[in-house]
C-alpha cells in the first residue's frame, strides 16, 4: 500500500533523532582516505550536534580546539579535489557546506576566530509535492568531495565541513549543526580575495528562514539556503 505524505510526516516525528547522528571523521586527499582524525580535529562529544549557533563550538565542534596540536596538517593543491567521509551516513535532511579560514601562521595554533568563506554547498535535490517529501542532495551520503578554489592565497587553512539537520527546524534552536575541521596547507593558489567573509559565531541567525520553518507541512516547495554565497575563485 502506498505511503502517504502525511504518513511520512508522522513517521519523521516519532523516529528518535539519536538514531541518525553522524560525524565527519576521515579526510580524503589525492583519492586516498586517511586515518580517522589524522588530519581532522577530533571532537570531544562523539557525534552529538550543536543546537546553539551562537556558540564558539560552531567553528569546529565540541572540544576540537584542544586537539588542534595533535592533528596533522595535510598538504593540498588549489584546484584539487578533497573530501570527508561520513560515519555512518548523513541521516537527516538539510543543506551541506564547506568553508575555509586562513590561519595567520600555523593552522595547528589557530582557533578559527578569523574570517571564513564558503567554497561549496548542497541544497535541495527535489522539492516536495502533495504526495512526496523533499529530497536533499546530501541525503544518505557516506562521503563528500568538492574542489578547492584556485583563486585563493597559499597558506595554512582550516577546512570546515558542515551539515545542518532540519528535522526539528519548526522551533527556534531546533536546527542541528554537525561539523568537522581539517587542517590543510594550500599551495598552487592564484591569490585573490575570497569573499564574502563571515565570522563564526555570527554565521547564521536562529531565525534565518532556512533554519526556522516547518520541514514537514506544508510540503517544502522552496528553500532559502543560509549563510553567504559560494566563493568560486
Structural domains of the chain ordered from first start:
5-10+20-187 (2.70.50.70)
Half-sphere exposure of residue 10: CA atoms within 13 angstroms, side-chain side: 5
> Could you tell me the pTM of the whole model?
0.91
Question: What DSSP string runs through 115-159?
Answer: -BEEEEEE-EEE---SSS--EETTTT-SEEEEE--SSS-SEEEEE
pLDDT tens across the length of the chain (233 residues)? 344 444 444 444 444 444 578 999 999 999 999 999 999 999 998 777 999 999 999 999 999 999 999 999 999 999 999 999 999 899 999 999 999 999 999 999 999 999 999 999 999 999 999 889 999 999 999 999 999 999 999 999 999 999 999 999 999 999 999 999 999 999 999 999 999 999 999 999 999 999 999 999 999 999 999 999 999 98
Amino acid at each position: 500500500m502506498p505511503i502517504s505524505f502525511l504518513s511520512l510526516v508522522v513517521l519523521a516525528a516519532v523516529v528518535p533523532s539519536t538514531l541518525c547522528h553522524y560525524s565527519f571523521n576521515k579526510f580524503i586527499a589525492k583519492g586516498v582516505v586517511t586515518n580517522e582524525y589524522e588530519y581532522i580535529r577530533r571532537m570531544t562529544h562523539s557525534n552529538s550536534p550543536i543546537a546553539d549557533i551562537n556558540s564558539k563550538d560552531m567553528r569546529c565542534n565540541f572540544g576540537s580546539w584542544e586537539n588542534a596540536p595533535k592533528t596533522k596538517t595535510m598538504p593540498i593543491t588549489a584546484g584539487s579535489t578533497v573530501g570527508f567521509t561520513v560515519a555512518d551516513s548523513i541521516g537527516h535532511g538539510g543543506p551541506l557546506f564547506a568553508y575555509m579560514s586562513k590561519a595567520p601562521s600555523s593552522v595547528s595554533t589557530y582557533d578559527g576566530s578569523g574570517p571564513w568563506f564558503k567554497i561549496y554547498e548542497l541544497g535541495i535535490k527535489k522539492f516536495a509535492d502533495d504526495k512526496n517529501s523533499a529530497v536533499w542532495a546530501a541525503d544518505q551520503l557516506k562521503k563528500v568531495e568538492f574542489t578547492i578554489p584556485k583563486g585563493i592565497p597559499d597558506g595554512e587553512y582550516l577546512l570546515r565541513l558542515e551539515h545542518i539537520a532540519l528535522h526539528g527546524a519548526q522551533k527556534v534552536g531546533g536546527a542541528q549543526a554537525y561539523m568537522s575541521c581539517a587542517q590543510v596547507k594550500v599551495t598552487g593558489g592564484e591569490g585573490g580575495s575570497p569573499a564574502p567573509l563571515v565570522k563564526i559565531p555570527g554565521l547564521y541567525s536562529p531565525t534565518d528562514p532556512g533554519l526556522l520553518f516547518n520541514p514537514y507541512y506544508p510540503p517544502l516547495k522552496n528553500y532559502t539556503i543560509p549563510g553567504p554565497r559560494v566563493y568560486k575563485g
